[in-house]
Amino acid sequence: MNPIRSVCIAGAGAIGGLFAGHLGSLVDTKVLVRRQDHADRLNREGLRISGKSDLQTTVLASIEPAELDDVDLLIIATKAMAVESVAKCIAGHFDRAAVMTVQNGLGLEDVVAQYGDWPMISSITFMSGVRHSDVHIEYELDTETWLGPWNQRGASMNFAQAVAELIRNSGLRAKAFEDVRPAQWSKLVFNSVVNSIGAVTNLPHVKDFANREKITDLGNLVARMMDEGKAVARAQGIELYEDPWEMNVNAVNRGKTGEADYAHVFSMLNDVRAKRSTEVGWLTGAIVREAHRLGIAAPIHEVMYSLVKGIEQTWEPNDERRGEETAT
Amino acid sequence: MKICIVGCGAIGSLFAAHLAQLENVEVWAFDLDRRHVDAINANGLRLSGESSVLSYPRASSNPGDIPPCEFGIVATKSMHTQSAIENSAGIFKQGAVLTVQNGVGNEEIIAEYVPRVMRGTTFPAGHMVEPGHVAQDTGGKTWIGPFEAKPAAQEEIETLASLLTESGMETLAMEDARGAQWTKLIFNAATNPIGALTGLPHGVACDQPMLRKVISGLVAEGVAVAGALGITLDSDPDELVDHAREVAYLHKSSMLQDVLAKRATEVAAINGGIVKFGQEKGVPTPLNEAIWALINGLEHSWTRDDQ
């Protein structure tokens, strides 16, 4: 018998929606969102999942944690930069719950742990979805979510296994690990490289990322940068679960039909195209900070982090003199 | 005295229009843009902005129309050097050819086709207003000197320098023009692509401490390569970066302008030039390599239809 009888998902974007839409078919599922109209629509219409699953689920949604009863598991499924505001919002609530973070990037568990003494689950997810509306998510890539007790203030391994089992029973894929950091770091190194390069070059994940014939081929830059990331992981005793270069090669070959490139548009590139803040600080920037803390050189990461932050500056004109630029 | 400008875009037109004012010089312009050629032949070549000139060089898109010339001045974008000099080499069988292009590596290409070569660096900039009309945006000096492997004679260098100065473009004849060229090269390699990749004007980029550090990192690699080549720089490129922040805070680099117009950039002659000479001398240039690959990637993104 699974000990988890009730869950709350904070954030109902693509990933949060996939968790809520699937878990809602199994257990009592609540959704904490930011907009009242989003909560109203979820309460009225429920959540529809299409694509790899076909589900219509009823959920209880609110913008106030006080309106949602305590739960056994709370999954924070927002973008990295929204995690702190969620943590502030749930502080003093959900006393019984364990909290699981699923963001890309490093250090989100620490952010949450400042706001309450919930036992924590670290996780990373490889699944993907397309958010068609506030109440409709398409389940796109049915790849796994990997989770395990946070190495600092973790929930028990038994509980982590129960979470993985619950997620599997709901129709998604999941696996529990004693130590999820090797997997987390594989994805971190992979993402900090390919997302930042995609954001700066405006390229989706095309074959260029694995080409290493000429000196100017992007694959050389990818490989050199991944070496920096791997060195940072190694310096803190983490043996990567997967080789990020292999992940890169597999990704550009996946779904290839004839000559057409498999062209996944990275989330960071989507953010840049939509002129939104990116997660670069939690990915590439996280590796820069860890490298600095450990006294390791990561010069290409510094270049890529600076360039993406520079791009963000183009739509954040907060310098007085920038006014002249638009005025003249 | 006959002088032919090879590539009569914005920079080439500055040279052609100034020189054509001299009475003892016959100026020809070789350019593939027929509308510009026709306009020059019909109405002359006009400069506005920092200069006010109307003069009458002769222009053609066919090198066969152009008589043998004592001097050539190559002013194409660097990716067109090879085809431009290949087509026009017959004009300079007895001549000396100067390049005033961006980047490094142009002299080597030109030297494959003509007997005597000069390296040059020019600071004036301009933009095409319409066929037959170029606006000069900035003034500044031009430095010219021998290309060591296949040098023009020092008298030729001095003759051309004084003609240019007399025409209104202050030009210094040097025995070694590499210092001026590499100072500008390193400055361009460190600043142009930062603007091009982020979209930020020069001064705004400099005000981001992390980006400013990247600029210094790029400068340091270029300085190391120049040192290995035995070149003494005219000035510290890092100080030029700060100076440009003061005088050209909102300037958008030419590479950024190329990117905004989705035109091929000159990164291969600029950052690529530093990388290639670095390889020759065994000096690592990882940051310039990264920048070169990123600009190439960005150029490739324009060929995709998913945007």
A interface residues, B as partner, C-beta within 8 Å: 197, 200-204, 206, 208, 215-218, 220-221, 224, 263, 265, 273, 299-300, 302-303, 305-307, 309-311, 313-314, 319, 321-322, 324-325, 328
- Search chain B and give the residue with CA nearest A212: B293
Examine the residue annotation and report whether B184 is marked as an active-site residue of this protein: yes
Tens of pLDDT along chain A (328 residues)?
Answer: 789 999 999 999 999 999 999 999 999 999 999 999 999 999 999 999 999 999 999 999 999 999 999 999 999 999 999 999 999 999 999 999 999 999 988 899 999 999 999 999 999 998 989 999 999 999 998 989 999 999 999 999 999 999 999 999 999 999 999 999 999 999 999 999 999 999 999 999 999 999 999 999 999 999 999 999 999 999 999 999 999 999 999 888 875 544 455 578 888 999 999 999 999 999 999 999 999 999 999 999 999 999 999 999 998 755 444 444 333 2
How far, in Å, are B137, B256, B269 from residue B126 at the CA level? 5, 15, 20
Residue A323 is predicted with a pLDDT of 40
Yes or no, beta carbons of A306 and B213 under 8 Å apart? yes
Residue A322 is predicted with a pLDDT of 44
B305 confidence band (pLDDT: 50, 70, 90)? low
How do the residues of chain A divide into helix, strand and coil, expressed in percent and rounded to 5?
45, 20, 35
Task: Point out the residue among B249, B272, B290 whose CB comes nearest to the CB of A303.
Answer: B290
Residue A253 is predicted with a pLDDT of 84
CA angle B178, B180, B185 (to 5 degrees): 90
Burial of A233 (0-12, 13-18, 19+ CB in 10 A): buried
Q: What would the mean pLDDT of B10-30 be, rounded to a whole number? A: 97
Instruction: Write down how long chain A is.
Output: 328
B125 confidence band (pLDDT: 50, 70, 90)? confident
CA angle B212, B215, B216 (to 5 degrees): 90
Task: Point out the residue among A263, A303, A311 whose CB comes nearest to the CB of B214.
Answer: A303
* Residue among B296, B302, B303, B305 with most chain A CBs within 10 A, to mutate: B296
Q: Does B291 touch chain A (CB under 8 A)?
A: yes
Yes or no, beta carbons of A307 and B194 under 8 Å apart? yes
ipTM: 0.90
Q: Please name the residue that has the structure tokens 């006014």.
A: A323
CB B3 within 8 A of CB B57: no
Residue A141 is predicted with a pLDDT of 87
Residue A308 is predicted with a pLDDT of 98
pLDDT digits (tens, 9 = 90+) for B53-103: 999 999 999 999 999 999 999 999 999 999 999 999 999 999 999 999 999
pLDDT digits (tens, 9 = 90+) for B172-215: 999 999 999 999 999 999 999 999 999 999 999 999 999 999 99
- Shortest distance, CA A125 to any CA of chain B (angstroms): 26
Residue A252 is predicted with a pLDDT of 87
Query: pTM of the full predicted structure?
Result: 0.88
* Residue among B191, B204, B275 with most chain A CBs within 10 A, to mutate: B204
Residue A321 is predicted with a pLDDT of 46
Of the residues B184, B213, B252, B276, only one is catalytic, namely B184
Give me the helices (H) in chain B, please. Answer: 10-19, 34-43, 81-88, 106-111, 154-167, 178-198, 202-206, 209-228, 237-247, 254-260, 271-281, 286-301
Average pLDDT value for chain B? 96
- Search chain B and give the residue with CA nearest A325: B250
Specify the amino acid at residue A225. M
